[in-house]
Amino acid sequence: MYNPKSLKAEEFINHEEILDTLAYADKHKKDEKVISAIIEKAKLKKGLSHREASVLLACELEDKNQEIYALAKQIKQDFYGNRIVMFAPLYLSNYCVNGCVYCPYHHTNKTICRKKLTQDEIRAEVIALQDMGHKRLAIESGEDPVNNPLEYILESIKTIYSIKHKNGAIRRVNVNIAATTVENYKKLKDAGIGTYILFQETYHKQSYEKLHPTGPKSNYAYHTEAHDRAMQGGIDDVGLGVLFGLELYRYEFAGLLMHAEHLEAAFGVGPHTISVPRICPADDIDPSQFDNGIDEDTFAKIVACIRVAVPYTGMIVSTRESPKARQRVLELGVSQISGGSRTSVGGYAEPEPQEENSAQFDVSDHRSLDEVVCWLMKLGHLPSFCTACYREGRTGDRFMSLCKSGQIHNCCLPNALMTLQEYLQDYASGETKKVGEKLIAKELESIPNEKVKQIVTDRLQKISNGERDFRF
Ligand code: SF4
Ligand code: SF4
């Protein structure tokens, strides 16, 4: 039954295959020989199968676990260096017809304040986001064909791209909206979206059906096959994710990697990103009602094992996580984080009054973007506002082949330096600017190619003189 190439959800995410995988992982969780062989394979940096990675996740040998963490750090360094790409979510509407029991936007929640941004309100939000320094957004919206039809999403994307305020610009809009048709994905592609992100929430079909009792999202197959339709509609950068805490984490982990293998087998391109949200408090949602919450150590282990299993896939962590939790997983493989986020509908232009709570979840990291950028640099990371690949047409298999050949490095570091320089010039506080300038001078020296180094040096000077938007 299990067939990674199949376009049927229950064949590429096959329940029996996951159960066999978990049994295999249990059998070998203390098997030094098997675990060592898998770690050696992972050192080739070409990834692991869901079965192999599941053994590493289950591994109970302390010295081997330390090897897994060390390898995750090494792979992170080799593929992403110390760069961390920055983004912010923008909630357009929290009207939703679905009944997801873990999300406060479910349609039976009568306490949450329902809001939908008008195009003028979107303009105000985007200007506020630009004034913070953001260049990359992920738009979010509940599913509601009457209040938030696709035409509304398309119009909103157009509005976002059209706003040029001072030196600001949103250069990449990623989209996190409900599963839809190939035809609608084509329209999103034509609107110039970056990544189409859709979280599976849980790969366990029975649990999925319980957690999604009503609404179009209750159709497991339609939801699970959405990334395939997005690919068929021409969107070749797609993002996966589960909501850890809903089901057994080892089940979800195997499902996530099977989904990645499926995309690679069926379309020749693995997922562009994997997000690792954990369930957290929100209006009318108490995370303790869900039995499968994961602790900090398990969370770190999941991130490390995803990193070694799919080295080419970006990994995203949001402000659901505290600064401490974020710091730990940044080292182990996370390559993108949000900063200064508001998870309410509106809230960037003007803070939302408490009695009008419209947030999807409570933020754990409340710092401003400037504070997050400064914090990252002090930890030795290089914040990047780069959006170059999508704008240069480096998406899907073109992007992946550049990644796999290692050549993407020649673009990422120069672009990180130039976009950080823009940020420092236009938005940073005095302290952030001081720390950032030092960091840029140091990182510039690590560009191996002299010609590239010279070009970047010249462009950094031009940015200081007021020019913008250079990219490799
Ligand atoms: S998770 Fe998405 S689909 Fe479900 S209730 Fe929340 S906004 Fe609606
Ligand atoms: S060059 Fe491409 S891969 Fe590298 S940071 Fe920029 S957008 Fe990402």
For 64-97, the pLDDT digits (tens) are: 999 999 999 999 999 999 999 999 999 999 999 9
| 406 lies in some domain | yes
Residues 143 and 252 in one domain: yes
- 260 neighbors 421 (Cβ within 8 angstroms): no
CATH number at residue 231: 3.20.20.70
Largest CA distance in the chain: 62
Q: Is 415 in the pocket of ligand 2 (CB under 6 A)?
A: yes
Residues 50 and 178 in one domain: no
- 263 neighbors 227 (Cβ within 8 angstroms): yes
Residues 248 and 367 in one domain: yes
| 347 lies in some domain | yes
Residue 207 structural domain? 81-390
Q: What is the structure's pLDDT at 250? A: 98
Residues 164 and 308 in one domain: yes
Q: What is the structure's pLDDT at 402? A: 86
* Other residues' Cβ atoms within 10 Å of the Cβ of residue 77: 11
Query: How many angstroms is it from 243 CA to the middle of ligand 1?
Result: 12
Residues 69 and 86 in one domain: no
| 395 lies in some domain | no
| 469 lies in some domain | no
> Which of 103, 160, 94, 84 lies closest to 419 in space, CA to CA?
84
Rounded Cα–Cα distance for residues 69 and 421 (Å): 32
- Site to substitute for ligand 1 among 91, 101, 105, most atoms within 8 A of C-beta: 105
pTM above 0.85, yes or no: yes
Q: Is 95 in the pocket of ligand 1 (CB under 6 A)?
A: no
Q: Pick from 390, 413, 429: which residue ends a domain?
A: 390
Q: Pick from 76, 98, 122: which residue ends a domain?
A: 76
| 141 lies in some domain | yes
Rounded Cα–Cα distance for residues 231 and 185 (Å): 8
Residues 170 and 187 in one domain: yes
Residues 284 and 238 in one domain: yes
Ligand with an atom nearest the CA of residue 386:
2
Query: How many angstroms is it from 412 CA to the middle of ligand 2?
Result: 5
Residues 202 and 281 in one domain: yes
Q: What is the structure's pLDDT at 315? A: 98
Q: What is the structure's pLDDT at 280? A: 86
Residues 230 and 345 in one domain: yes
- 21 neighbors 50 (Cβ within 8 angstroms): yes
> Which of 94, 100, 116, 90 lies closest to 285 in space, CA to CA?
100
Residues 34 and 178 in one domain: no
Task: Write out the chain's pLDDT in tens, 472 residues.
Answer: 999 999 999 999 999 999 999 999 999 999 999 999 999 999 999 999 999 999 999 999 999 999 999 999 999 999 999 999 999 999 999 999 999 999 999 999 999 999 999 999 999 999 999 999 999 999 999 999 999 999 999 999 999 999 999 999 999 999 999 999 999 999 999 999 999 999 999 999 999 999 999 999 999 999 999 999 999 999 999 999 999 999 999 999 999 999 999 999 999 999 999 999 999 889 989 998 998 999 999 999 999 999 999 999 999 999 999 999 999 999 999 999 999 999 999 999 999 888 889 999 999 999 999 999 999 999 999 999 999 999 999 999 989 888 888 788 889 999 999 999 999 999 999 999 999 999 999 999 999 899 999 999 999 999 999 999 999 9
- The CB-based long-range contact list for 454-460 (8 Å cut-off, 24+ gap) reads 455/414, 456/414, 456/417, 456/418, 459/418, 460/417, 460/418, 460/421
Ligand 1 atom nearest to CA at 217: 3
Residues 91 and 70 in one domain: no
| 97 lies in some domain | yes
Give the torsion sign (CA, 330, 331, 334, 335): positive
Query: How many angstroms is it from 65 CA to the middle of ligand 1?
Result: 36
Residues 340 and 381 in one domain: yes
Q: What is the structure's pLDDT at 460? A: 98
| 2 lies in some domain | no
Q: Pick from 390, 414, 438: which residue ends a domain?
A: 390
Q: What is the structure's pLDDT at 405? A: 82
Calculate the alpha carbon distances from 320 to 106, 247, 356, 428 in Å.
19, 18, 20, 24
| 471 lies in some domain | no
Q: What is the structure's pLDDT at 334? A: 98
CB-based contacts of 254: which residues, under 8 Å, 6+ apart? 18, 21, 22, 50, 51, 54, 203
How many domains does the structure of the chain reveal? Answer: 3
Residue found by looking up tokens 């406060």 in the block? 104
